[in-house]
């Protein structure tokens, strides 16, 4: 399997430095342009399937990348962004951002998906697609900045 990872385009919350998590924000104009740039860069690349997070920002990015080509888009909940609960909509300065990345997340944050739960969810997803699409080129259109950057 050839796996290509993309991240959704920019949202207003990205610009404002807010934690999005499962909050379903839309792409802004820059985000749409970024998705179009990805589409251009990958247009001559053989792509068999796009698997996208169900969040609007990821789905819209996937739709733009697939536009003009016969590439199916599958929506998969297991690649949605980490759920940050009470911290969604806040900036990193408004809480201890590093603490919620502690692998053994302090249980004072019961409303937050733990890092261990997130990694297990992503690992399960990767194991599943490794079997289903072993001879395919797959784009994963996700919102995992948090997984990719930590």
Write out pLDDT tens, residues 16-53: 999 999 999 999 999 999 999 999 999 999 999 999 99
**Of these residues, 8, 29, 77, 94, which one is catalytic?**
8
d(CA 46, CA 112): 38
The CATH number assigned to the domain holding 79 equals 3.40.50.1240
Q: What domain range includes position 67?
A: 2-149
Look at 71 and 118; give whichever has higher pLDDT.
71
- Of residues 150 and 106, which shows the higher confidence score? 106
Cβ proximity of 120 and 93 under 8 Å: no
81 is catalytic: yes
Q: Quote the pTM value.
A: 0.88
Neighbours of 77 (CB within 10 A): 10
Please count the structural domains in the chain.
1
Helix (H, G, I), strand (E, B) or coil at 23: coil
Q: Band the pLDDT of 106: cuts 50, 70, 90.
A: low
Of 77, 81, 99, 150, the active-site residue reads 81
In the sheet that holds 49-52, the strands lie side by side as 2-7, 137-142, 49-52, 73-75
Tell me, yes or no, if 8 is annotated catalytic: yes
């Amino acid at each position: 399997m050839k796996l290509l990872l993309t991240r959704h385009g920019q949202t207003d919350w990205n610009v404002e430095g807010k934690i999005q998590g499962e909050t379903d924000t839309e792409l802004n104009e820059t985000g749409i342009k970024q998705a179009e740039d990805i589409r251009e860069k990958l247009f001559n690349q053989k792509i068999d399937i796009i698997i996208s997070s169900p969040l609007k920002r990821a789905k819209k990015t996937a739709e733009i990348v697939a536009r003009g080509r016969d590439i199916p888009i599958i929506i998969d909940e297991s690649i949605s962004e980490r759920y940050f609960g009470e911290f969604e909509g806040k900036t990193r300065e408004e809480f201890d951002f590093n603490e919620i990345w502690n692998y053994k997340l302090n249980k004072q944050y019961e409303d937050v998906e733990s890092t261990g739960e997130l990694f297990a969810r992503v690992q399960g997803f990767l194991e599943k697609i490794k079997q289903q699409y072993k001879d395919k080129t797959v784009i994963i259109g996700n919102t995992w900045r948090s997984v990719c950057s930590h």
